[in-house]
Amino acid sequence: MRHSTFFWFFLPTALAMLLFIAFPIVSVVMQSVFAPHPAVLVEVETCTPLSGCQRETTIDQEATRALREAEPLGRFVGLDIFTDRGHLATSEIKAIWANSSTWNEVFQRLGNLPFYRAMMFTLVFTFIVTPFVILLGLLIALTVNALNARLKGLVIFFSLLPFVITPLIGALVLFWMIDSRGVLGSSIQWIFSDPNLSLKASTGLMWFSLILYGVWHAAPFAFVIFYAGLQTLPKDQIEAAQIDGATRLQQVRYVVVPHLMPLVTFVALIQLMDNFRVFEPIVGFNAAAHAQSLSWFIFNDLGGETRQLSSASASSVLTIIGVAILLSPVLVRTWRDFKGKA
Amino acid sequence: MQSNAQKRPLGLQIAIYTFAGLWLLMAAFPFVWTVWGSFKVELDFFSIADWTYAITGERTKAEYGRPFTGAGYEGAWIKEEFWRNAINTFIVCFFVVCTSLTIGTLGGYALSRSAYKYTFFLLITALIFRAMPPVTLVAGYMLPFFEWNLWGILPTTIIVLVAINQPFTLWMLHSFFQSIPKELDESAKVDGCTQFQAFRNVIIPVMWPGVITTGLFSFLLAYNDFAVTSMLLAEENRTMVPQIAAFLGTTYTEGNVMFAVSAVVSATVPLFILVMFFQRQIVSGLVAGAVKG
């Protein structure tokens, strides 16, 4: 295909991505180093014959407007927003590092800084949900593969539901059951015979439920992919293993899993990307008091009456950097493969 | 034909069926429970007194004389005018799917037929874009959209969702077009077609399976989105998902949780139908992504 033909074919999609993905990224980066102008204050001296002169400070509306129009981006603050208490909190970190005696204390105090709290939950969520999704997906795939044909269809049908469901809706459906008044919630209270154990009151239970939701939502995805991989498993390899006297567990360990390995890598990559953006379950579970994710953190800044664009932008930039770090091994590998081919 | 060596011992057989049953229960039960409960009153669905009320509907009987009631649906659809949100969702999904397939097909086809190096970089860029949480972009939309009075209306949201959709659509269609032999359009070009004519007359007639599968995923992305739609739509233009979130804010205080429950069930129905009719395409789409990606 010639360059010019390629250009015209690719133009519409390139324009869409340029205007609504690339430019916003630039704009987010810009906003993160500019803060809104404060109002311009003027001191006015009003003198009246009887009470003498009084000095008052008022907002100079005209000057404020003029300033905002002259520099619509706001005033340049460099990396100040990144280092403030709401984000990287560098000075607080130094203090924590200097006066904490144990690691436990360091983590405890880090947990009080909102950005680090959100980051900790996001990382914990990502790195617990991803392996469990792979494991559960593999188990379901192996199980379904052993069922008879009619049951297979049924199980695949119902398995797809948690995956295609709107994340917010899926989270709500689970939340209403795990909530202290829901059927699972009251069972949990009954099992632990603790009537005060509820999702609203327990951080541990909240994290557990969110992770449970994450696994429930994504396991079908891993399952479908692994199940398809199992269909292409060469029969003779399994038979050879059987002739050599491998037990079922050994067959799975040494034949099936290596065969599925490329798919495991794929699922892990997609899951890392998707779990890192965890957001809807926190809204659905009403979990903000116990668990906040980076995406929720940004969303929270953006919403409400005071749209804190600078703060949200700084969090966004940090999140994008996080994604880049997460993705870098894959990118490096793809780049090497590409150079190897060329 | 199973040889003796492949026959499973009884214990394993039982374990397999138990586990399959358990998973089926895990996957389906929450939905069954919520659909059943959506026809009850709040005190039955969230029953503190006795959890069996949620099944038998004692309080619902006491209030309405029957164990089922459509009060939640009536409240959501008629009183809270949820149908407006349903129409908005329909408009958004329809235009997102159409636009993103049109421009994605052209782009994906070009990527699959060009042998130059920049296709690789374009695909990697798309992968990076795919990895970014959409909510990180929203802060970048706000100022320009406010400035040009584009905030809050459906077309803006549609075009933003199309753009967010593109990386995924491109990857999927790229790998799909690669599975269509190049010789098809090459021979058309030998016969004197331009590249576009070759695309229109030779590729378009055979591309529908891949396009439909990709369209399903575009639809899911548009339908399921919460971060973008809730930040970019004004209150009167809300789609279903942000509206449900809004219900939560107001209804927990008003004691009308059942509105939200029935709205949730209503919003699940299209997805249920989708899986019923397109199960094969969804599965094959996921698998195609895995094999090529």
Q: Which residue do the tokens 């039982």 mark?
A: B14
pLDDT digits (tens, 9 = 90+) for A112-128: 888 999 999 999 999 99
Radius of gyration of chain A (CA): 28
Q: What is the mean pLDDT of residues A325-331?
A: 87
B120 in reach of chain A (CB within 8 A): yes
- Give the Cα separation of B244 and B80 in Å (integer): 11
* Residue from the list A9, A186, A338 with its beta carbon closest to the beta carbon of B109: A9
Q: Which residue do the tokens 């709401």 mark?
A: A86
pLDDT digits (tens, 9 = 90+) for A253-275: 898 999 899 889 889 988 999 99
pLDDT digits (tens, 9 = 90+) for A26-81: 999 988 888 877 777 777 777 777 777 777 777 777 877 787 777 777 788 878 88
Q: Give the model's confidence band at B1: pLDDT under 50 very low, under 70 low, under 90 confident, else very high.
A: very low
Q: Which residue do the tokens 């000075």 mark?
A: A91
Residue numbers of B between 57 and 86 with CB closer than 8 Å to A: none
pLDDT digits (tens, 9 = 90+) for A199-248: 778 888 899 999 999 999 999 999 999 998 898 888 888 888 888 888 88
* Residue from the list A3, A13, A331 with its beta carbon closest to the beta carbon of B107: A13
**AA identity, residue A294:** L
How many A/B residue pairs have CB atoms within 8 Å? 273
Q: What is the pLDDT of residue B292?
A: 55
Structural contact between residues A156 and B284, judged by C-beta atoms closer than 8 angstroms: no
Same domain, B251 and B157: yes
Question: What percent of chain A is modeled with pLDDT above 90?
Answer: 37
User: For residue A176, what is the nearest residue in chain B, using CA coordinates?
Assistant: B46
Structural contact between residues B246 and B84, judged by C-beta atoms closer than 8 angstroms: no
Residue numbers of B between 203 and 232 with CB closer than 8 Å to A: 220, 223-224, 226-227, 231
Query: What CATH number does residue B195 fall under?
Result: 1.10.3720.10
- Give the Cα separation of B81 and B88 in Å (integer): 12
Q: Which of these, B218, B209, B220, B217, lies nearest to B100 by C-alpha position?
A: B218
Answer whether residue B156 shows pLDDT above 70: yes
Same domain, B227 and B100: yes
Task: Evaluate the CA torsion angle A176, A177, A183, A184 in order and state its sign.
Answer: negative
* Residue from the list A3, A16, A160 with its beta carbon closest to the beta carbon of B282: A160
- Give the Cα separation of B251 and B72 in Å (integer): 12
Same domain, B245 and B112: yes
Q: Which residue do the tokens 């659909």 mark?
A: B35
Structural domain of B194: 82-292
B234 in reach of chain A (CB within 8 A): no
Q: What is the pLDDT of residue B184?
A: 87
Q: Give the model's confidence band at B291: pLDDT under 50 very low, under 70 low, under 90 confident, else very high.
A: low
Same domain, B125 and B13: no
Same domain, B269 and B129: yes
User: For residue B131, what is the nearest residue in chain A, using CA coordinates?
Assistant: A273
**Residues of chain A positioned with their CB less than 8 A from the CB of B260:** 172
Write the DSSP symbol of residue A72.
T
Q: What is the pLDDT of residue A2?
A: 82
Q: State the ipTM, two decimals.
A: 0.90
Structural contact between residues B265 and B249, judged by C-beta atoms closer than 8 angstroms: no
- Cross-chain Cβ contact B244/A307 below 8 Å: no
- How many angstroms away from the CA of B135 is the closest CA of chain A? 6
- How many angstroms away from the CA of A182 is the closest CA of chain B? 5
Task: Evaluate the CA torsion angle A324, A326, A331, A336 in order and state its sign.
Answer: positive
Between CA A170 and CA A175, with CA A173 as vertex, the angle to 5 degrees is 105
User: For residue A332, what is the nearest residue in chain B, using CA coordinates?
Assistant: B124
B48 in reach of chain A (CB within 8 A): yes
Q: Which residue do the tokens 């969090």 mark?
A: A315
Same domain, B250 and B113: yes
- Cross-chain Cβ contact A167/B224 below 8 Å: yes
Same domain, B61 and B106: no
Same domain, B31 and B144: no
Q: Please identify, among B74, B102, B136, the residue that sits at the C-terminal boundary of a domain.
A: B74
Q: What is the mean pLDDT of residues A151-160?
A: 89
Answer whether residue A181 shows pLDDT above 90: no
Q: Please identify, among B16, B50, B74, the residue that sits at the C-terminal boundary of a domain.
A: B74
**Cβ partners under 8 Å of residue A51, min gap 6:** none
Domains of chain A: 78-112 (no CATH), 119-287 (1.10.3720.10)
* Residue from the list A157, A187, A228 with its beta carbon closest to the beta carbon of B275: A157
Q: Which of these, A275, A277, A297, lies nearest to A287 by C-alpha position?
A: A297
The rounded Cα B238 to chain-centroid distance in angstroms is 17
Q: Please identify, among B23, B48, B74, the residue that sits at the C-terminal boundary of a domain.
A: B74
* Residue B134: both structure tokens together: 């959409």
How many structural domains does chain B have? 2
Q: Which of B130, B135, B156, B251 to mutate to test the interface with A (most CBs of A within 10 A)?
A: B135
Q: Which residue do the tokens 């159409």 mark?
A: B98
Same domain, B15 and B147: no
Same domain, B172 and B225: yes
φ/ψ of residue B252, rounded to 5: -60, -30
Same domain, B45 and B167: no
Same domain, B177 and B237: yes
